[in-house]
Amino acid sequence: MEAAGALGRWRPEGFREHLREAVRARSRAFWIVVGLTALAAGLRLATLGVQSYHHDEIVTASRVLRGSFGHAMNVVGFSESAPPLYYVLAWLWVQMVGTGEFGLRSLSALAGIATVPVAYLIGVELRDRRAGILAAALVAVNPMLLWYSQEARSYSLLVLFSAIGVLYFLRALDSGRRAEVLWWGVASALALATHYFAIFPIILEAVWLLWRRGRAAAIGIAIVVVTGIALAPLALHQMLRGHADWIGEHSLGHRLWEVAVTFAVGEIGEVIAQPERLAPAIVPLAAIVVAFALLAWRGGRSERRAAAPLLVIAGFTVAAPLAIAVLHPTADFVLARNLIPALVPLLVAVAIATTLRRARRAGIAVVTVLLAYSLGFVVLAGTTPSLQRVNWESVADRLGEPQAPRAMVTWTLGEASLRYYLSTGSFQVKASERFPWYVHEIDFISNGDVPPPARRLVGPRFAQAGYESVGPLRIRRYALRDPEVARLRLRWVKRAPLNFGSNGVLVDGIGPG
């Protein structure tokens, strides 16, 4: 029996038997999928521990997971805006591997790797092995999926559970079998317990199953409903704390534009303290548009029907929260990473669109361009500091231990990371607290070369004592000539031009005056 057939009929209870059969058969499709999964593993694991933690990952590593399991769950309730499942698994994971970058992120990496064969199975379910292979390849090299496979947050796990949910939804829709509906419900419940935005594809799939399969869909829907009821008090509590309100501070139109760019080339904007750039995304976005144009004009009825459920799921996953944001601006949480459950269905639909019988050569050309560009961009991002998370660990190493009371002025979203890597007892200070702080040294960490801060910002007694580069970052040091201290002009130093969106201040070796 062909290995692809064995994979296509995969059931949890018969996994080992089917895997042995697939290995014995050694079909070309099976080994291609194995190779693509290995490629995904190589891309994700090779640089997994290279980049520093950024702000959100610091929250995971040092705020949520630093203590007991009870402490972690308590912190999720008062400081996070996500359900607890990822943190439950991450807490268990770090008991074995620790909270280092490679260890903690490896949970997300494994989820990202496992998504590749799931994409293959979705393609096979709807079309054929060729579509499945292309779907697996697109998922393996997609820059956004790779980014969040190297992120100590819940998004990669969300993608995996949502993709499994799509697979069993399609199977349940086709057969109506109780086992398929059950596994759809389980996968959907896990996705919802990982991230609240999983609710959008789940609602669509539940209504679709109820319409097509009636009472047979009841058991899966019941599992999801019970999970939703259990999560509702936590979700309401977190919403009232307003942890995600910052999203609405950016225009909805800009964030939608960011979704398109990020889906194509990953996080190359505000997350890494860079201006969002459309240019790198033009080629992959154009390839996707051409693929869907081929599907519309050259696709046969069966081919369009194969892609339709995926396009509907992806479209609804984006459109539903967008409609809520327009109708109720106070519930505007539209953000690229929150919409990530739409990405795997979209990529599988692209794979189907490039396997058309009436446009075979054009499809091959389009998918080749998309795969080559995505792989090239992933490699480029992995070797280019300006396309990576800000290297706060190297900044901390360069700053070293404080020799005297010191203030450090840098990006607001970099404060937590810098404090984590300094390990000097540094802490954030705010002008609103109205403490007088006295320092001997002021260090400005900027994003690239910027003009020196005006004299009135640092004070007349401070003189520049050093200037050095740390990758794309720059450290400009000011110090007093004598061993005394002077009052920090806290409101003023935050206004220094550092090429970040906003500045914050850390101090160490100091107490309030």
pLDDT of residue 23: 59
Contacts of 91 (CB under 8 A, 6+ apart): 64, 65, 69, 72
* DSSP assigned state of 381: H
Rounded mean pLDDT, 34-54: 96
Distance of CA 70 to the CA centre of its chain: 26
pLDDT of residue 10: 46
401 with 307, same domain: the answer is: no
Rounded mean pLDDT, 44-51: 96
Backbone angles phi, psi at 27, to 5 degrees: -70, 155
Residue 33 inside a domain? The answer is: yes
Rounded mean pLDDT, 32-61: 96
Contacts of 188 (CB under 8 A, 6+ apart): 161, 165, 198, 202, 205, 206, 220, 223, 224
Q: Which amino acid is at 497?
A: P
Q: How many residues does the chain have?
A: 513
pLDDT of residue 246: 79
**Does position 484 have pLDDT exceeding 80, yes or no?**
yes
In the chain, % helix, strand, coil (3-state, to 5) comes to 70, 10, 25
Q: Which amino acid is at 195?
A: H
Distance of CA 4 to the CA centre of its chain: 30
25 with 157, same domain: the answer is: yes
How far is Cα 21 from Cα 4, in angstroms, rounded to an integer? 10
Query: Tokens at residue 401, please?
Result: 């231990």
Residue 321 inside a domain? The answer is: yes
Residue 403 inside a domain? The answer is: yes
The number of domains in the chain is: 2
CA angle 308, 285, 391 (to 5 degrees): 120
Least confident of 88-92, 213-217, 272-276, 357-361: 272-276
pLDDT (tens digit per residue) in 413-448: 999 999 999 988 899 999 888 889 999 999 999 999
Query: Tokens at residue 255, please?
Result: 């964030």
Residue 92: CB atoms within 10 Å: 11
193 with 322, same domain: the answer is: yes
Domain end, chosen from 335, 368, 387, is at 387
363 with 485, same domain: the answer is: no
Domain end, chosen from 387, 413, 448, is at 387
pLDDT of residue 7: 46
276 confidence band (pLDDT: 50, 70, 90): confident
How far is Cα 461 from Cα 479, in angstroms, rounded to an integer? 8
320 with 407, same domain: the answer is: no
344 with 401, same domain: the answer is: no
379 with 425, same domain: the answer is: no
pLDDT of residue 496: 96
363 with 504, same domain: the answer is: no
Rounded mean pLDDT, 269-298: 93
Residue 513 inside a domain? The answer is: no
- For residue 378, how many C-alpha atoms fall within 13 Å in the half-sphere facing its CB? 30
pLDDT of residue 14: 60
254 with 313, same domain: the answer is: yes
pLDDT of residue 25: 57
Residue pair 474/452 in contact (Cβ under 8 Å)? The answer is no
303 with 399, same domain: the answer is: no
2 confidence band (pLDDT: 50, 70, 90): very low
172 with 134, same domain: the answer is: yes
Domain end, chosen from 349, 366, 387, is at 387
Could you tell me the residue range of the domain that residue 139 belongs to? 3-387
How far is Cα 481 from Cα 458, in angstroms, rounded to an integer? 14
How far is Cα 152 from Cα 90, in angstroms, rounded to an integer? 9
382 with 458, same domain: the answer is: no
How far is Cα 350 from Cα 263, in angstroms, rounded to an integer? 13
**Does position 6 have pLDDT exceeding 60, yes or no?**
no
**Does position 71 have pLDDT exceeding 90, yes or no?**
yes
254 confidence band (pLDDT: 50, 70, 90): confident
